Chains A and B, each alone.
Chain A
Amino acid sequence: MAEAIAVPQAKPIPSISQFLRLIPGIALLAAVGYAGKLLEQNVGKYAKAHHWTFPNIEYVLWAILLGLLISNTVGVPEIFRAGVATYEFWLKAGIVLLGSRFLLGDVLKLGGVSLALVAVEIAVAIAFMTFLGRAFGLRPKLTSLLAVGSAVCGVSAIIATQGAIEADEEDSSFAIAAILALGALSLFTFPLIGHALHLSDHAYGLWAGLAVDNTAEATAAGALYSDAAGKLAVLAKTTRNAMIGFVVLAYAIYWASRGEAKGIGNKAAFLWQKFPKFVLGFLLISVLATYSFFNKEQLTAVANLSRWAFLLTFAGVGLRTNFKEMRKQGLRPFAVGAIGEVVIAVVTLGLVAGAGKLFGF
């Protein structure tokens, strides 16, 4: 399961030797991502020159497909694994830099809409996943982990909750595998559904940010649709991520009240510890961009840095997804996750359609 769940959440500063160990994997992320970019530029040209009908495939999908191909054929050799696991680091850095493409007014308006939708999505997801977990006879803590993973932010939320409710590593592993497998499926299904329903960039981006669980997959699913949809997906997903502390705290209190986890002493400190700091970074860069800290050329440069960071992330999404490893985790958690995700996707699509009518997008 190492490939599928090698996601660092909060680690201390690495020493020089640990840092050097990351270099091969980071170089692999860069090579796969850049190859995806080259394929986007050249395959279309080649097909056109030879009068072939070939769909325009964006670098996002090429990078993910190349990563999937490597991971599921030759596999990712040990020397690259530590560096490949840094894709979450590049994702967070990319999200912070993406803040430069939002004016604060837009963040507040869209963030406010997202926040209202996120509150409904979290309530529905937790209630429905808990019901499904019980119906399928899953262990209660595994059900809690799946509910948090699908309601808030996938793997990060599961890891944060595992510690807080003292769940077994096996439960955590099951829940992460289910969420990752469903995230991989969403990369291919969401853009198809979005195009079939003729969703606007705005509506699709909000939907992907609300319904796709893992931040990396939500970012990729948005970017696969369009650049504008990618921006909106990140904003909606970041709003969801900001809720992680409250949801984990609620679960910790619930399990402590049943005598199956330790109580939480300082709740404010707990919330701050769990709060994703990159959300604050995103907001601060947006404030700087709004008040002209950067000129136009600098804003373009910062936005391009964000794209490069996301390129490494998309390569990492493919490289860390190993279907064989995921299959070993069993069918029931996956079935619960899959049924839950379909319902959450339908509910959030309805929410987005309703919000679209209200706010005109």
Chain B
Amino acid sequence: MSRETKAVAIARRPGLSLDSWAVLLAFLAALLVRAGIFRHIPW
């Protein structure tokens, strides 16, 4: 498989983008805080 063909195959593979995964992770973390599972996050 040429590099171009591989790139097209990867681009067409179903799934969320990294961008969307970052949003989902952030919301999951915020919801865990809201639900009281993460009570205190130190800094």
The chain A residues found within 8 Å of chain B, CB to CB, are 8-13, 88-94, 96-97, 100, 276-278, 280-281, 284-285, 288, 293-294, 297-298, 300-302, 304-305, 307-309
Contact = CB atoms under 8 A, between A and B. Distances in A.
A281 B18 CA distance: 13
Contact of A11 (B18, B27, B33, B39): B18
Interface string B10-43: 1001111111111101110110011000111111
Contacts of A90: 22
6 contacts: A11-B10, A88-B18, A92-B23, A284-B27, A294-B34, A298-B33
A304 B23 contact: no
A92 B16 CA distance: 14
Nearest to A299: B33
Contacts of A88: 18
Contacts of A304: 41-43
Interface residues of B, number: 25
B28 to A, nearest CB: 10
A270 to B, nearest CB: 14
Given A12-B13, A301-B38, A304-B43, A92 B30 contact: no
Scoring B14, B18, B25, B26 by chain A CB atoms within 10 A of each residue's CB, the highest score goes to: B26
Contact of A278 (B10, B15, B23): B23
A11 B21 CA distance: 10
A281 B23 contact: yes
By Cβ-Cβ distance, the 6 closest A-B pairs, closest first, are A12-B15, A92-B22, A96-B26, A10-B17, A281-B23, A304-B41
A63 to B, nearest CB: 14
Nearest to A96: B26
Given A92-B23, A93-B25, A301 B33 contact: yes
A277 B13 contact: no
Contacts of A100: 30
Nearest to A298: B33
Contacts of A8: 18
Contacts of B10: 11-12
Nearest to B7: A163
A92 B23 CA distance: 7
B32 to A, nearest CB: 9
A253 B30 CA distance: 40
A298 B17 contact: no
